[in-house]
Structure 1
Amino acid sequence: MSDIKLFRIASGAVTELAGTTDTVEKSVQVLFEKNLESLLGVRFLATEYTTTHGGRIDTLGLDENGCPVILEYKRASNENVINQGLFYLDWLMDHRKDFQWLVMEKLGKAAADGVDWSAPRLICIAGDFNRYDDHAVKQMQRNIELIRYRRFGPELLMLDLVAATSTKGVFIDTKGSVPDGGAGGGNKYKTIGTVLQELDPGLLDRFEALRAYLMALGDDVHETTLRFYIAFKRIKNFACVEFRPSTGKILMFVKVDPSTVQLEPGFTRDVSNLGHFGTGDLEITLSKAEDLEKAKPLIELSYGAS
């Protein structure tokens, strides 16, 4: 499945750079763990984490949505890291308290309280994958990503999202709301599953138009439903969507520097210093169908940066 080529252009001549992968798996693991947040938007928690059944998870992390992440690195072409990672993912779901204690030790109580178990992820890293890996992932209703890496000389690293699947089911907790653990005290937030049931036909139609546009941006886009919002991502989030049924509005947060755009009251807002669900410093309010056209250039900027 390797089809990426990189060329250097100098003095009118074109020279192909030979892509390589490390034969020693540990060096790849160390590289990713030292730069996990920059590369994948995942905060590092632990390496070679020992499970209660004697297994060892290569890398544990917490993503930008607060979801647990397991990373497994493929050592050999015939190694089945997907099945191995799914085994560890099931173990993790049965040992949530152990994971949350780890988060508390590494990142603090606020991060531990905010762990979102609605969309745990498995990321498999390899020099290459075959068509059977791609096919297998597409049959599984789990959040799995296959990421291929290549080195081009000592200074260039390429990441290629080969395949990704996301759970499509909506998370609905038994009470339909979750206590606010922040400064707000006793407030409650409705889960996204509850909110979606409250959307009127017009608001639902506008969301479907937005979703269709986001998903059509590229084959590498996938959608993940979390507790309080819906994330659209490539390797990292590029759009997070919430709803305000009472006012008929869709709120979308994108990764665009607010200082680089002309803010329009009622349409765009700088939320870099305001708490909100999801990721992104620019809030876009979609109040009517025509707002999607205005938002498209900003969405494309965020997509390109993700």
Structure 2
Amino acid sequence: MSGLKLFHTKGAVVEVTSRLAEAEAEVQALVEGNLEAMLGVRFLASEYSTGPVHGGRIDTLGMDENGAPVVIEFKRATDAGVINQGLFYLSWLVDHKAEYGHLVRDRLGAAAAAQVLWSAPRLICVAGNFTRYDMHAIREHRRSIDLVRYRFYGADHFGLETVASVAAQPAAPRARRLSEAQAPGARVAKGAMEELHAEVDQALLGLGDDITKVQRKTYRAYQRLRNFACVCPPQRDKLLVYLKANPKEVDLIPGFTRDVTGLGHHGTGDLEVQLRTDRDLERAQDLFRLSYSAV
């Protein structure tokens, strides 16, 4: 965001200058009050105490739209300790799963508590700026970490920019038994829908360097802070993708795109895209880009 220039264009063109907050609490209060809209995270607690033994307070505690626990740490400007501080609290959180579960149940209900995804807890650091050492440091950890830079513009505008994101490194999958891998009739080639599923994965990840993916049982989410696409497991003859693109801004095509606003489905997003062939995937590319830009 340091390279972004914002201009007011009504009348004479005037640059809108950016500024940092007067105090860290100014940023925290604004983001906490609009947490779902800004970061795709449901609010659970502010200044959450980690107890007398641990001796700390988590700036903001939440749960994202995929059920992942989220620790958010705020800094007014550049702070070399923000990542280590956040990881300190994230480790505490992972060690206190039951306490977090009770908090989710109290604030969001039993259904939300049953969906907590402990395989992918997240740390979001919101600060005035980050250093190249911060960018390097987050790639050395096996955690999901987002570095988000903020700026105030004039009296009425506020900006957030994701400057770096890394996904948690999954545990190495267990090797299949030799007898299973070499059993008569073992499949050598993937089915058509599995191949299409892999191509969709490549297409979505190829939209930008700031994309991470989260695997749930019923869908795989692609996010840049917030989900922009959710892909369900392949069906026999089609693959369903849900996007954050506004269905009202899309020319809906029966059998290809559908407005599912208010309809229950796995994942998030109001635009359903049905993929059956590589040609479907090709014409879905613009919708993928639209959704990626919308979050």
Q: Partner residue of 1:216?
A: 206
Q: Partner residue of 1:47?
A: 46
Q: How many angstroms apart in 1 are the aligned matches of 2:144 and 2:48?
A: 20
Q: What aligned pairs does 1:106-125 form with structure 2 within 5 A after superposition?
A: 106-125=107-126
Q: CA offsets per residue over residues 257-296 of structure 1, 9 Å max, x none?
A: 3344343343223332332221001211211111111212
Q: Partner residue of 1:267?
A: 256
Change (3 A) 1:300 1:19: same
Gap regions ≥5 residues in structure 2: 174-186
- Aligned to 1:243, the other structure's residue is in SS state coil
Gap regions ≥5 residues in structure 1: 173-196
Determine whether 1:301 maps to 2:252: no
Q: After the TM superposition, which of the residue ranges 114-123 and 248-257 deviates more from structure 2?
A: 248-257
Q: Partner residue of 1:27?
A: 26
- Aligned to 1:43, the other structure's residue is in SS state strand
Q: What aligned pairs does 1:93-172 form with structure 2 within 5 A after superposition?
A: 93-169=94-170
Q: How many angstroms apart in 1 are the aligned matches of 2:35 and 2:6?
A: 24
Q: Partner residue of 1:290?
A: 279
Q: CA offsets per residue over residues 87-135 of structure 1, 9 Å max, x none?
A: 1111111111111111111111111112222211100000111111011
Q: How many angstroms apart in 2 are the aligned matches of 1:242 and 1:108?
A: 25
Q: CA offsets per residue over residues 69-101 of structure 1, 9 Å max, x none?
A: 100012453441111111111111111111111
CA contact (8 A) 1:170 1:226 kept: no
Determine whether 1:4 maps to 2:16: no
Change (3 A) 1:141 1:199: farther
Q: Partner residue of 1:70?
A: 71
Q: How many angstroms apart in 2 are the aligned matches of 1:158 and 1:237?
A: 19
- Aligned to 1:290, the other structure's residue is in SS state helix
Q: Which amino acid aligns with 1:23?
A: E
Change (3 A) 1:229 1:154: same
- Aligned to 2:262, the other structure's residue is in SS state coil
CA contact (8 A) 1:243 1:249 kept: no
CA contact (8 A) 1:141 1:167 kept: yes
Q: Which amino acid aligns with 1:4?
A: L
Determine whether 1:83 maps to 2:84: yes
Determine whether 1:207 maps to 2:197: yes
TM-score normalised by length of structure 1: 0.84
Q: CA offsets per residue over residues 205-235 of structure 1, 9 Å max, x none?
A: 3223222222222232222333432211223
Give the superposition deviation at 1:37.
Answer: 1.0
Determine whether 1:244 maps to 2:234: yes
Q: How many angstroms apart in 2 are the aligned matches of 1:209 and 1:51?
A: 44
Q: How many angstroms apart in 1 are the aligned matches of 2:189 and 2:102?
A: 37
Q: How many angstroms apart in 2 are the aligned matches of 1:273 and 1:137?
A: 38
Give the superposition deviation at 1:157.
Answer: 0.5
Q: Which amino acid aligns with 2:114?
A: D
Change (3 A) 1:84 1:271: same
Q: Partner residue of 1:234?
A: 224
Cα RMSD over matched residues? Answer: 2.4
Q: Which amino acid aligns with 2:246?
A: D
Give the superposition deviation at 1:243.
Answer: 1.5
Q: How many angstroms apart in 1 are the aligned matches of 2:203 and 2:232?
A: 16
CA contact (8 A) 1:168 1:225 kept: no
Identical residues among aligned pairs (%): 49
- Aligned to 1:219, the other structure's residue is in SS state coil
Q: How many angstroms apart in 2 are the aligned matches of 1:83 and 1:248?
A: 47
Q: Which amino acid aligns with 1:42?
A: V
Q: How many residues align?
A: 280
- Aligned to 1:210, the other structure's residue is in SS state helix
Q: Partner residue of 1:278?
A: 267
